[in-house]
Amino acid sequence: MTTLKCPGVGRDKDCVSALAFYFSRRVTDDEMRFLHEVMQRSVACMPRITKCSQCNDTGMIAILSRNGAYAFPGPVPDDAKGYADADCWYCDCGRAPK
């Protein structure tokens, strides 16, 4: 079997979230599974492009001191009363806020 090469990549005109990869020969099922795993790992390591709406990418949020409810993107100003700093739970867990 000849060495697999990937001379190109392009967009799928019918699906905005799809990419088309072009290979030098037919890809086997094992190679396709491997490439799928590589893409999943690569996507997980990509830097986030969109800003977190909860913390504005500061990693900190302000919570109400009395009940711990979300108040606003942090950190809390020094003169603010009734608020406390907290780590942004959306950034910590990797889920984007809705």
pLDDT at 46: 76
- Predicted confidence at residue 96, as pLDDT, reads 56
Q: Which residue has the higher pLDDT, 88 or 50?
A: 88
On whether the CB atoms of residues 63 and 69 are closer than 8 A, the answer is yes
Instruction: List, for residues 21-47, the tens digit of each pLDDT value.
Output: 999 999 999 999 999 999 999 888 877
DSSP structure class, residue 22? E
85 bridge partner residues:
62
Q: Where are the alpha helices (DSSP H) in the chain?
A: 29-45, 89-93
Tens digits of per-residue pLDDT, 10-19? 998 888 888 8
Query: With contact defined as beta carbons under 8 Å apart, do 90 and 55 qualify?
Result: yes
d(CA 4, CA 31): 9
